[in-house]
Amino acid sequence: MIALLLRDLRLAIRAGGGFGLGLAFFLIVVTLVPFGVGPEGGVLARIAPGILWVGALLACLLSLDRIFALDFEDGSLDLLATAPIPLEGVVTIKAVAHWLTTGLPLVLAAPAFGVLLHLEGSANFWLVLSLALGTPALSVLGAFGAALTVGLKRGGLLLSLLVLPLYVPTLIFGAELVRRGASGMETQVPLLMLAGITAACIAVVPFASAAAIRVNLR
C-alpha cells in the first residue's frame, strides 16, 4: 500500500507539475475574480470564501480524470486488480495521492490567496481549517467519479457532471464554515457536518469506487 502511494507520488512529480498545476489554476481563479467583480476590498472579502471554495473544487476537478485513466491505459489497473492488495485499498491510496498532490497544496497556500482577497486573520484560519477538513472528501468522491468513467474515451465532461452534484454538501458546509467563522457566528454545526461528511466519505465511498472499477475491468 505504501509502495503504491510512493509510486503515485513519484509519478505525479515526474510527470511535471503534479503539485503545481492545481495550485496555478487556483491562482488564476483568484486573480481573475477581482477583474470580474471589481477591486473593491469589502466586496472581495465578502465573496472570498465562496471563490476560494469554488476554486478549490475546480482545481480538484481538473486532475480527477487522471486518477485511474493512466493506469487503465497502460494495463497497470488490470495488474493491480489481480495483485494481493484489496481494490478498495488501491482506490483509497489513489484518492490519498490525489489529495496530497492537489488538496494539500491548496490548503497550505490558501492563506496567501486569502490575503489577495482581503480575508482577515481569523477568517484565514477558518478558511484553512475548512479546506483541510473538506478537500479529502473532494478527492475521495472524485475518485468515485473517475472509477465510474474509467473505461470511457470522452469521460472528462461526464466526470464533471457526475461529480459536481456530489460536491454540493461539502461546498455548502465548507463555505458556510468560513463565512460564519469570519463573522464570529456559531460554527459548530457546519464544522461537524463538514468533518462528518469527509469521514463518512472516506469510510464508505472507496467500496463503491472499487465496485465500479471491478465492473469496468470486466
Using CB under 8 A, pick the residue from 27, 47, 76, 88 that binds other proteins.
Answer: 76
In angstroms, rounded to a whole number, what is the distance separating the alpha carbons of residues 178 and 48?
9
The distance in angstroms from the start CA to the end CA of the chain is: 23
Task: Kindly tell me which of 5 and 100 has the beta carbon lying closer to other proteins.
Answer: 5
- Cα four-point dihedral sign 147, 148, 154, 158: negative
Grid cell locating 80: 493491480
Using CB under 8 A, pick the residue from 28, 83, 108, 115 that binds other proteins.
Answer: 83
Helices marked H in the chain: 2-14, 20-37, 41-62, 66-73, 76-82, 87-98, 104-116, 121-148, 155-182, 188-217
Using CB under 8 A, pick the residue from 22, 105, 176, 206 that binds other proteins.
Answer: 176
Task: Kindly tell me which of 24 and 189 has the beta carbon lying closer to other proteins.
Answer: 189
Task: Write down the least CB distance from residue 161 to other proteins, Å.
Answer: 5
Write out the binding residues for other proteins, residues 10-69 only, by CB under 8 A: 10-11, 14-15
**Virtual CA dihedral for 208, 60, 200, 178, nearest 10 degrees?**
-160
If one asks whether residue 192 binds other proteins (CB under 8 A), the answer comes out as: no
Residues that bind other proteins (CB under 8 A): 2-4, 7, 10-11, 14-15, 71, 73-85, 144, 148-149, 151-152, 154-155, 158, 161-162, 164-166, 168-169, 172-173, 176, 189-190, 193, 197, 205, 208, 211-212, 215-218
